[in-house]
Amino acid sequence: MEKTQRNNIKLGLFVLIGLLVLIVSFYMLGNSSNIFGRDFEVKARFNNLSGLMEGNNILFSGIHAGTVKRIDMVTDSIIEVTMQIDNKIQPFIKKNAMAAIGTEGLMGNKIINIEPSSQASAKVVSGDMLQTSKLVSAEEMLKTLSKTNDDVAAIAKALKETVLSLDTSEIFNLMNDPSIRKSIKSSLNEINLATKNTNNMSYGLNQIVDNMRKGRGAAGVLLTDTLLASNLKNAVIDLRMTSGNAKKITAKLSNTVNDLDYDLNYGKGPLHALLRDSTMTQNLNNSLYNIQKGANGFSDIMDATKHSFLFRGYFNKQEKKENAKVKE
């Protein structure tokens, strides 16, 4: 009898211990705890948990890393969350990692996302405080979408009113007038024709310039033909020599006139009688006047030639040479 009671007590204790182990196992599984391994804790502080609760999941780069162990109120605006992380994930979490509250799917449970930083940093240790960032929640997205829908509705209403006002305006009446359309079409055709003519003119000018550069045509020959330039230079030299000879002839004619005037007044012989003839004198004076006039005209021609753009450079060079000779 005593042996039976002892066995029953042992059996009851065994069952009780088994129930306790089972309850603890279920509790740890419910909290996603590592039963056979070791966990470490890190913390983060938020201004708003947006419905985050103890036992919610924690993801690191999209991988399940642990659960929310404890939530504590630090102040009225700061909430500290203690996260229980699997020890296997510890080597990959750095001190500069960012923790943010997110959602599983669009309307799922709240979770904490831990995102690694691209910059190098030391490995996190148990008890470290992670930096936090704010993610856009579903509620904020819905609020933004609602505000956007209101704005789109207002814009659509304004556009509708604008289109209706334009439909009754004089501008649309003018646009619907067939005569206005014909006038606009005709003006566009004329503008197109003027553009084509301008292009053709530009092409022609380019050809003329190209021919001048290549020595084609009269202008090209004048600008590029060295033989013609040499001939012009020789012609200028001849004209200058002719001008000098004309001046000498004029001087000689002047001396001759003076001699004739002396013979006319004081001379003797047939020449004196011939020169005293009034008719002959008049004719001779007319001849001398014409000669003087011709010499002056020739001098004017030479002066004009000196100032011509074709010979100006040459005469300037010759004048500089003569000045240089005078100085020497």
Which single residue is written with the structure tokens 């020789």?
A: 234
In this predicted model, which residue has the larger pLDDT, 216 or 84? 84
The pLDDT assigned to 37 comes to: 47
Nearest Cα neighbor of 87 from 105, 117, 60 is 60
In this predicted model, which residue has the larger pLDDT, 34 or 219? 219
Number of domains in the chain: 3
CA distance 247 to 35: 132
- Domain edge (last residue) among 82, 116, 135: 135
Residues 6 or more apart in contact with residue 125 via CB below 8 angstroms: 40
CA distance 325 to 83: 108
Rg (alpha carbons) of the chain, rounded to whole number: 59
38-52, 138-152, 230-244, 309-323: range with lowest mean pLDDT: 309-323
Which single residue is written with the structure tokens 């055709």?
A: 189
Do 68 and 106 share a domain, yes or no?
yes
- Domain edge (last residue) among 96, 117, 135: 135
The pLDDT assigned to 81 comes to: 92
Which single residue is written with the structure tokens 């005293």?
A: 276
Are 74 and 45 in contact by the 8 Å Cβ rule? The answer is: yes
| Domain range for 9 | 1-30
Residues 6 or more apart in contact with residue 291 via CB below 8 angstroms: 250, 253
Are 72 and 80 in contact by the 8 Å Cβ rule? The answer is: yes
Tokens of 214: 């290549």
Do 41 and 25 share a domain, yes or no?
no
Do 8 and 79 share a domain, yes or no?
no
Tell me the pTM.
Answer: 0.36
Do 256 and 306 share a domain, yes or no?
yes
Are 225 and 216 in contact by the 8 Å Cβ rule? The answer is: no
Residue 78 lies in a domain: yes
Do 238 and 256 share a domain, yes or no?
yes
Residue 271 lies in a domain: yes
Dump pLDDT digits (tens) for 163-185. Answer: 777 666 666 666 666 776 677 77
Nearest Cα neighbor of 84 from 46, 52, 44 is 44
Do 66 and 3 share a domain, yes or no?
no
- Domain edge (last residue) among 135, 151, 181: 135
Do 5 and 36 share a domain, yes or no?
no
CA angle 113, 119, 120 (to 5 degrees): 105
Residue 87 DSSP code = G
Dump pLDDT digits (tens) for 51-63. Answer: 888 889 999 988 8
The pLDDT assigned to 68 comes to: 92
Distances (CA, A) of 11 to 2, 24, 68, 87: 14, 20, 38, 38
The winner for highest mean pLDDT among 138-142, 246-250, 269-273 is 246-250
The pLDDT assigned to 80 comes to: 93
Do 248 and 278 share a domain, yes or no?
yes
Do 294 and 240 share a domain, yes or no?
yes
